[in-house]
């Protein structure tokens, strides 16, 4: 993914009144948030990378190769994205509520992929849920669903 494409997505996301992102860009931006959560504990573990790829395959009906490609693009976007608060608020405005609710389950599944429930990840996911416009109950239900899957 070129730097110009990343900047184009970020400029649309960070516009004071962003519209809905078109599907490919929304998919990429939401994947970047998955990467951000996985990287939040300072250990971007293979289990988390694998979980992100599986989430992308299931959510978007992608092949393993396509999912890995999307994740690689998402890693580049995540690196260029602003702080988590601004980035997540922008995603809230640019994506539908049902997409954000499904994303919360995916975020929990990535955070739990390494088998550890880290306090820093819990704090981050609580903040992300709030910034995405989801309630604590919705986040807890998403966590329970992620633990079952």
Structure-derived torsion over alpha carbons of residues 149, 21, 134, 105, reported in degrees to the nearest 10: 10
Q: Token match 């994205």: residue? A: 81
Token pair in block for residue 108: 């929990």
Per-domain residue ranges for the chain? 3-13+20-148
Q: Which of 5, 6, 8, 31 is CA-nearest to residue 91?
A: 31
CATH number of the 3-13+20-148 domain? 1.10.3680.10
Percentage of the chain lying above the pLDDT 90 cut: 45
Q: Kindly state the DSSP code that residue 81 receives in the 8-state scheme.
A: S
pLDDT per residue over 117-138, tens digit each? 778 888 899 999 999 999 999 9
pTM (2 d.p.) = 0.87
d(CA 149, CA 61): 17
Distance CA 28, CA 15 (A): 17
3-state SS, residue 14: coil
Query: How confident is the model over 28-61, as pLDDT tens digits?
Result: 988 999 999 999 878 888 999 999 999 999 989 9
């Amino acid at each position: 993914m070129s730097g110009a494409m990343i900047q184009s997505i970020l400029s649309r996301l960070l516009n004071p009144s962003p519209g809905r992102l078109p599907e490919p860009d929304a998919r990429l931006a939401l994947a970047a948030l998955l990467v951000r959560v996985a990287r939040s504990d300072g250990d971007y573990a293979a289990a988390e990378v694998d979980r992100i790829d599986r989430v992308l395959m299931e959510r978007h009906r992608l092949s393993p190769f396509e999912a890995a490609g999307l994740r690689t693009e998402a890693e580049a976007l995540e690196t260029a994205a602003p702080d988590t608060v601004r980035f997540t608020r922008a995603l809230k405005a640019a994506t539908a509520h049902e997409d954000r609710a499904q994303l919360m389950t995916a975020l929990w599944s990535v955070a739990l992929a390494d088998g550890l429930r880290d306090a820093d990840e819990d704090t981050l996911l609580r903040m992300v849920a709030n910034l995405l416009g989801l309630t604590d109950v919705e986040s807890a239900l998403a966590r329970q669903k992620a633990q079952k899957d």
